Amino acid sequence: MSDFIWHDGNINSLNYSVAESGASLAIEAEFYSTPESTQRDKFTINCRDVTRFNNVINFLEVKDNYSAGSVSNGYLRGNTLWLYLLDGVIEIHADQISVSRR
Q: What is the pLDDT of residue 38?
A: 94
Q: Is the pLDDT of residue 2 over 90?
A: no
> Over the chain, what is the mean pLDDT?
95
Q: What is the pLDDT of residue 31?
A: 97
Distances (CA, A) of 2 to 36, 59, 62, 89: 15, 27, 24, 20
Integer Cα distance of 17 and 39 in angstroms: 31
Helix H or strand E encompassing 62: helix 59-64
- Nearest of 68, 100, 74 to residue 88 by alpha carbon: 74
Q: What is the pLDDT of residue 1?
A: 60
pLDDT tens sequence across 26-75:
999 999 999 999 999 999 999 999 999 999 999 999 999 999 999 999 99
Integer Cα distance of 66 and 27 in angstroms: 16
Integer Cα distance of 25 and 94 in angstroms: 9
pTM over 0.85: yes
User: Who contacts 37 (Cβ-Cβ below 8 Å, separation ≥6)?
Assistant: 5
